[in-house]
Amino acid sequence: MADTGAMYEWNALPKLSERFDRAEFRVWVPECEGALQGATVILAGTNDCSLHVADDPVWRGWATSRRMALVGALLFNDTGSYDRAEEGSGRALVEAVAHVAAASGRAELASVPLYLVGFSQGGQLAYHFSLWAPDRVGAFVTLKGGRHRMPEECRRGDSKRAGEECKARGFICRVMDFLNLQQPEKTGDQKLPPGLLVSGGLDSGIRKKNLEAIAASAGTLGLPWVHAEEPGTTHEPAQSVRLAVSFFERCLGLVPEGEWERRLGAFWRGEKLDDLPDYPLQGRQPTAGAAGGNWPQLELGPVDVREVETMEFTASAPTRIEDAVSLEVVPDKAVLEARAEKTAQGWRVVGRLHAGQLPLGLFKGRVRLYPSRSGQPEFGFGSVGIQARVVGGVKASPPSLFFGGMQRGESRELVLTVARVGDSGELEWLGVDGAVPGVSFGEVRRTDAGLELPVRADGAKLESGKIMVRVRAGREWVLAVPVLGASQEKES
């Protein structure tokens, strides 16, 4: 039976330099004879959830017949960017699959090829993961994303050096081909997996141009990638997931000769692919509504991050899911305990935070809202954010550094001021931890307002990240300061 199998969950927390806030995975492993042949990974759009795809009967039936595990995910970043696999999200996925391989006794799962399909930023992650770890990928599909890096810029390790090598190799191959000579072998590089790039005919120009440029580069470099455009569609999956599954079957050698080409041509013409089932990207949810409302920002403190202290917090938010029967808190590691109560106004969450686990800055958590469906809470998913600002003995103004609208040749300087809060003692500068590409620091100045740190940005190299400012005011304090920015030439 398609539903015969076991479910596993794995949550990954980011390291200091990684660009995601939380990564959750649900992996369904079917009961089947013989070794697993792969794992299908489904990735939804920005900060969206595909966890319940692992429960979907259509996906389970397909995975069972192909002897594959099924992976759903929820990736979240407060700044919205986590699609660069080399910046942490790739590690989280590999770690999740390895954990399930050990827990399930299916050791082969740690090394089987992954078949990744994602929509919007989920597609960008599938694409970047395939370039970051091509040896782990059987095939990938990116559906209507718009911020993919060019293939010559994405290689495991030193992307700048690898990009230069890839460009040089492409030029050499074209010259050798023109002279009808044997092309040189790729040294120190792995063969890239097959890929399908899908754009929407009515989607934004930036997304369409980005995918068209990737397809043109793939043709020049001789990469096994196919581009398809779905006419009359905007930024929506539409029929593209059906085409993605058909592409995987073609890569697995399961499609009769000519069948893939027929479906691809029908897709380009906007014809219905009704001979294929509907494969959802987010699991099948009831239509009772969606989570709504915002949690208020909570002031917690002042607190001492060096001591073990606890504090209570209360937050509430309305929901349009009238038949919701349960709520689960999905907190940051700093939450010791939390419980949810349904009231006439909505949901109320009460919990305790561990100050010793909180960097001074913004605490983020989420709640899951489960609508009832046959008494089973796993059908349906809604997510609402919790935010709480922690106030300590020192503060940074501004709390984040934003460098926006810069040209590549431009440099800009902002000043980060660190000031005391209350009678926390004399302020002493200790240093900055965490390197952000394109960001450098000047000499610290002492003023009446506190300590001023000049922060310079190089528009040609600037990337988003986080710096940890360390000072002493009676005791040591750590400020987590996000650095945000994008040059205009990098926008597309």
Residue predicted with more confidence, 30 or 309: 30
What residues have CB less than 8 Å from 118, skipping those under 6 apart? 41, 42, 43, 44, 124, 125, 126, 127, 141, 142, 143, 145
Q: How far apart are CA 435 and CA 289, in angstroms?
A: 43
Paired residues of 304 in beta bridges? none
Asked whether the predicted pLDDT for residue 46 surpasses 70, the reply is yes
Residue predicted with more confidence, 268 or 79: 268
* Phi, psi of 14, rounded to the nearest 5 degrees: -75, 150
CATH of segment(s) 5-268: 3.40.50.1820
pLDDT score of 230: 93
The 10s digit of each residue's pLDDT in 240-261 is 999 999 999 999 999 887 899 9
Q: What is the mean pLDDT of residues 297-322?
A: 50
The 10s digit of each residue's pLDDT in 188-211 is 345 899 999 999 999 888 899 999
Q: Which of 68-77, 78-87, 199-208 has the lowest mean pLDDT?
A: 78-87
Asked whether the predicted pLDDT for residue 285 surpasses 90, the reply is no
Return the top range by mean pLDDT from 83-87, 299-303, 330-334. Answer: 83-87
pLDDT score of 370: 44
pLDDT score of 310: 53
Please, which pLDDT band fits residue 466 given cuts at 50, 70 and 90? confident
Asked whether the predicted pLDDT for residue 56 surpasses 80, the reply is yes
CATH 2.60.40.3450 domain locations along the chain = 394-490
Q: What is the mean pLDDT of residues 18-36?
A: 89
pLDDT score of 80: 67
DSSP-derived letter for residue 310 is: E
pLDDT score of 37: 95
Asked whether the predicted pLDDT for residue 14 surpasses 70, the reply is yes
Q: Is 118 helix (H, G, I), strand (E, B) or coil?
A: strand
Asked whether the predicted pLDDT for residue 117 surpasses 60, the reply is yes
pLDDT score of 108: 95
| Per-residue b or e along 61-88, where b marks 16 or more CB atoms closer than 10 Å to that residue's CB | ebbbebebbbbbbbbbbeeebbbbbbbb
From residue 186, give the alpha-carbon distance in Å to each of 173, 175, 192: 10, 15, 11
The answer as to CATH 1.10.1760 being correct for domain 298-390 is: no
CATH of segment(s) 394-490: 2.60.40.3450
pLDDT score of 339: 65
From residue 322, give the alpha-carbon distance in Å to each of 178, 289, 343, 450: 67, 8, 12, 51
Please, which pLDDT band fits residue 29 given cuts at 50, 70 and 90? very high
In the chain, what percentage of residues exceed pLDDT 90? 36
Averaged confidence pLDDT in the chain: 76
Asked whether the predicted pLDDT for residue 369 surpasses 50, the reply is no
Q: What is the mean pLDDT of residues 181-192?
A: 50
CATH 3.40.50.1820 domain locations along the chain = 5-268
pLDDT score of 385: 46
pLDDT score of 94: 96
pLDDT score of 333: 55
In the chain, what percentage of residues exceed pLDDT 70? 66
DSSP-derived letter for residue 45 is: S
Q: Are 105 and 30 in contact (CB under 8 A)?
A: no
Residue predicted with more confidence, 181 or 287: 181
Number of other CB atoms surrounding residue 489 within 10 Å: 12
Please, which pLDDT band fits residue 321 given cuts at 50, 70 and 90? very low
